[in-house]
Amino acid sequence: MTTFIAGGTGFIGRRLVPLLAQRGEDIVCMDINPQTADFAHLGDRVKVVRGDVSQFDDVMAAMTAAKPQRAINLAYWLGSTHTPRVAFRLNILGMDNVFEAARLVGCNRVAYASSLAVNGEQKFYGDRMVTEDDFCHGHVQYAMHKIFNEWQARDYREKHGMEITAIRPANVTGPDKIVGSVDHVFCITEPARGKPVRFPYRDAMRCPIHVDEVAEIFARVIMTEKPQHWVYNTGGQAISLGDLADIVRGYLPDARITFDKETGGQELSGNYLIDNTRLVSEFGVQYRPYHERVLQIINDIRKEERLPQLAVG
């Protein structure tokens, strides 16, 4: 069968494509930056075409040619600093273009990336885990667009009977992440390059999850014809930047990670206590211990820098 992936050459997509190919899928990626991933080793299984998801004709033409049974949309502006119309065109119109083109070509199975951002700050919930059934308190541009995407997907589900699933990744981490939430990434990658790094608050909380885990989640969810729910939290590892810095120092004793303030920052933190029972029980995902993922990222950077690999402790 064929899976169509919009935004498939990005940070998550370039890991997801090989996982789907290993499962026997043919894949057509449509991306405005098709050159940012190399799938040559996957041969004919993967086709990459250039297209703009905010242009309905591009999506329709690519989907009509691909004739997919499944579709995924990962194309998005991360962050909330984009001008309103620019953000709207990719995040809102682009998402609807994928839903509508999928509908018109008879592709009933769709998945897309929402985000933990729909929940806003942890302070809205107090000191407890947040589930998919909780009210969404997100309020910035990125969060509001994700909240609207979720509403729109449910409208398609109700009115057109489509099987559209939202996945809400937490703070995705990996060596090549450069947009979105990046402090928890730079806390690892900068010391791994021998560079100093400084953050405002030691107690700022994050919920990182390695990008390999997120790619595996998308693969399992899209390959399931009828998941039990319309939305899934990925969850991740709730951790302060200070504790993350301590893990990094365990591998790199000379790491120069400093904080402006030793306390505070927790009240400003986004949702970090995230319940992923739904995903774990239905899809059987198990995450590798987070400290192993930190070491993996350090070694990815050391490989780039032509430094010797650190052994697993």
Ligand X SMILES: NC(=O)c1ccc[n+]([C@@H]2O[C@H](COP(=O)([O-])OP(=O)(O)OC[C@H]3O[C@@H](n4cnc5c(N)ncnc54)[C@H](O)[C@@H]3O)[C@@H](O)[C@H]2O)c1
The site for ligand X (CB under 6 A) is made up of 6-7, 9-13, 31-33, 36, 52-54, 74-76, 78, 90, 94, 113, 115, 169, 171-172, 177, 179-181
**Least distance (Å) between residue 308 CB and ligand X:** 29
CB of 91 to ligand X, least distance (A): 8
Closer residue to ligand X (CB): 186 or 252: 186
Q: Which is nearer to ligand X, 131 or 307 (CB)?
A: 131
Query: What letters, b where the CB count within 10 A reaches 16 and e where it falls short, cover 57-79?
Result: ebbbebbeebebbbbbbbbbbbe
48 vs 298, beta carbon nearer ligand X: 48
Which residues have CB under 8 Å from 230's CB, separation 6+?
Answer: 153, 154, 157, 164, 165, 166
Closest distance to ligand X from the beta carbon of 313 (Å): 27
- The answer to whether 72 and 4 have CB atoms below 8 angstroms apart is yes
Taking the complex as a whole, the smallest distance from the CB of residue 242 to ligand X amounts, in Å, to 21
Rounded to the nearest whole angstrom, what is the least distance from the CB of residue 263 to ligand X in the complex?
26
As a dihedral over the C-alpha atoms of residue 187, residue 193, residue 195, residue 197, rounded to 10 degrees, the angle is -10
Nearer to ligand X, 97 or 252 (CB): 97
User: In the block, which residue shows the tokens 């774990």?
Assistant: 280
Nearer to ligand X, 12 or 252 (CB): 12
If the CB atoms of residues 54 and 252 are measured against ligand X, the closer one turns out to be: 54
Smallest distance, ligand X to C-beta of residue 74, A: 4
Residue 127 carries which side chain, given as an amino acid letter?
A: D
Give dist(CA 270, CA 122) in Å, integer. Answer: 5
251 residue type, one letter = Y
Closest residue to ligand X in the complex (CB): 10
Burial of 171 per CB tally in 10 Å (0-12, 13-18, 19+) = buried
